[in-house]
Chain A
């Protein structure tokens, strides 16, 4: 009887946790929709006028305005907008007449490629720079100065400079960017501009994490037991810092997204950043809402994944520390 009640309690607990867990993301997404709609509503410019251009006559603009439903009460327009989102239609672009999801799909790959390259670069740079600093301590101060320079350089400057460098390099031209969406490696060099700032920040955070590990008893024990510098770096410092590195990366993703927009502009990639700029300038509300919602969903998923993975990584790190302490204890 007691076990049955306990099972029931557990079941109720799971249900409540599920409800509680879904309230926040759903309310956030609804909030995003409301915000997007009203921001677009108050933003200057009549969409019908934007579609037909400044040379169009007022009567034509008025007719299109009516046929698109902009003369209906605000609450009705909002209801229709939310209805479309809820039914997964996401509407049709006012500029190209394409379904929003297709527009987003057409522009997704360049942004994704840039993001993947930039993430890999920033993690590799953070790890390798700290590795160099640890194994060759004399290289530390000049590298740190370079890092500060990297942090102080705006993405736009880096993007323009790298675009110009690319055009100078004969074998690797900016028309790799033109091939863009179909040519994965074409994004390799421009992604440096996206990665630079996050890489500098992540290097600094990793360096701080290393400093605290280096004062720990298990690090001293590992050193005393005769681990080489390289082994100390990989088996003690790095293996205990993955959680920090991962959290740092998650925190830099929003910056990566922002830098991606700038780099897409400079390199003329047909990515989500370009689409976002176009939809803001053209007051293309359906596309704008689509991108903002997608961004919201992405960050929600990222947050959920990062929370559970960080917990997992910390647990793994704890187990490794325990094993390391045991092994160093055995040696002693």
Chain B
């Protein structure tokens, strides 16, 4: 018996030692030169056609490039397009491709010719117009022949033309002075036909080839592994390899960062408690944690709001609620670290944009609006139903609004549903109001207004059901001028008129906080929340 016990003990020791050696070696190999970024969500695919969530977009932005993209100053700049020009009526756009843009090499998918050509651009944009393609919507509403192609009435998109091996032409059905901004998302990334055909359903999941600064290596468990593309046309990535790792638990992600096994992670609000302090609106790491963690924060393209069903809810009641809300209190309850009060739908991060909307609580104004409501509806108590869901602090925000409106005599019923159920209710128009948020892919205020506040986008994304011919005409006019500054000023006028109509109460926007290991430097982000790693390096 004793001998058996000793033998078992020795065996355990040997296996443990072997495991220790194996693991420490494999661990050091894996992390020596890789920049590891932690995500809280899985990315099942980053095929440009399926880039419907922010996590996939962040990954996709490293591998795929479109004609244009958003730089770290939130300006639209050329990606694989070197330059572009338009006709005077902004209905024809010609993009000139950069010379020497190459697709990533791939052992099994490698095409003979790896240089990007105009045919690749036409193929990619045609592919994006397939029925189940996420980026199809915004394109099919402006591109000539897109509808006919989608409906199977045409074999190709008539508005897409190869002019020469390095020039592509887009013909639009209406003026769009902001077309380069419309196609700046990584969802409009250029791919190669032979590669996509060979990879089939694996494209974007276990195989991917683009022209971006990083080339995809493999999917390993919950990691997506990339390496620097040495033939990248621009300033290459500053680190040799990159790993996006899914670690769902906030506490585990933070512990991994502190232990040095993650080098950066997108922080959620709960992760910041006890780690970060707010001083005069600026976030900084507490002294006790400064050795293990560094931070960077920046405003991103989002808005949290209470959306009214515009035609259903009485205008005086809408206005009363909009004036009665105390945004600071909402922020303190929901996102004390990252929230910034906002009164309009346009993100504060939009480059060159200055809002005309003034925000602030006006209780007298709210009472006056309520009096007007009561005069119109004698004997009817002001009442509203707020839909909330499990995402984006929707229910806590609803509860704060409920407590703020109660003293004014506005009765609020909170109805909690799943996110999908809320979207279903919005689609049917079966709601009074809903607490929800927008995460914009667009960086231009004009595109945001067009996509979310015109009659043609009802019921979604225009979940407000906000429809006014004058508003539609004003938004359409924003796309007809080539004067960028004038267009932005006019967009601010449209936003102000929109907010005055109170289709919703725009509560706050958030800034993204990134937690870093202190030995990492030079990582930048744009307001669409994509990492830009060209200057990333390790401190010596």
Contact = CB atoms under 8 A, between A and B. Distances in A.
Given A53-B52, A174-B261, A45 B420 contact: yes
B205 interface: yes
A27 interface: no
Which of A60, A63, A170, A172 neighbours the largest number of chain B CB atoms within 10 Å of its CB?
A60
B194 interface: no
Contacts of A22: none
Which of A58, A92, A180 neighbours the largest number of chain B CB atoms within 10 Å of its CB?
A58
Given A171-B20, A175-B245, A56 B220 contact: no
A160 interface: yes
Interface in A252-304: 265-270, 274, 278, 281, 283
A60 B146 CA distance: 12
Contacts of A176: 23
A52 B134 contact: yes
A180 B42 CA distance: 14
Interface stretch (A161-169, A236-244, A322-330): A161-169
A112 interface: no
B44 A278 contact: yes
B509 interface: no
A97 interface: yes
Interface string A141-181: 00000000000000000001001100110111111111111
Interface residues of B, number: 58
Chain A contact surface mostly: helix
Interface in B39-73: 42, 44-45, 50, 52-53
B309 to A, nearest CB: 16
Contact of A57 (B1, B27, B252, B461): B461
Interface stretch (B293-301, B327-335, B396-404, B452-460): B452-460
Contacts of B20: 171-172
B512 interface: no
A181 B52 CA distance: 26
Given A44-B424, A53-B134, A64-B131, A178 B222 contact: yes
B423 A45 contact: yes
Interface in B238-265: 245-249, 251-252, 255-256, 259, 261
Contacts of B50: 95-96
Contacts of B108: none
A173 B137 contact: no
Contact of A110 (B23, B140, B221, B418): B221
B249 A56 contact: no
Given A175-B245, A268-B246, A52 B132 contact: yes
Nearest to B49: A97
Contacts of A213: none
A163 to B, nearest CB: 5
Contact of A63 (B45, B131, B202, B451): B131
A317 to B, nearest CB: 23
B10 interface: no
Contacts of B251: 160, 163-164
A167 B260 CA distance: 10
A151 B247 CA distance: 27
Interface in B422-462: 423-424, 427, 441, 451, 456-461
Given A45-B424, A176-B23, A274-B42, A268 B131 contact: no
B255 A58 contact: no
Contact of B255 (A43, A98, A168, A183): A168
A216 interface: no
Contacts of A265: 248-249
Nearest to B243: A178
Contacts of A49: 423-424, 427, 460
A146 to B, nearest CB: 21
Interface string A46-60: 100111111111101
28 contacts: A43-B420, A45-B420, A45-B424, A49-B423, A52-B52, A55-B461, A57-B461, A61-B460, A63-B131, A63-B151, A64-B131, A98-B205, A99-B201, A110-B221, A160-B251, A164-B255, A167-B259, A173-B27, A174-B256, A175-B31, A178-B223, A185-B19, A265-B249, A266-B252, A267-B252, A268-B42, A270-B221, A274-B42
Given A45-B424, A95-B50, 19 more contacts: A60-B136, A67-B132, A92-B201, A95-B45, A96-B45, A97-B201, A160-B252, A170-B259, A175-B27, A175-B31, A175-B245, A179-B221, A230-B1, A268-B222, A268-B246, A268-B247, A268-B248, A268-B252, A283-B420
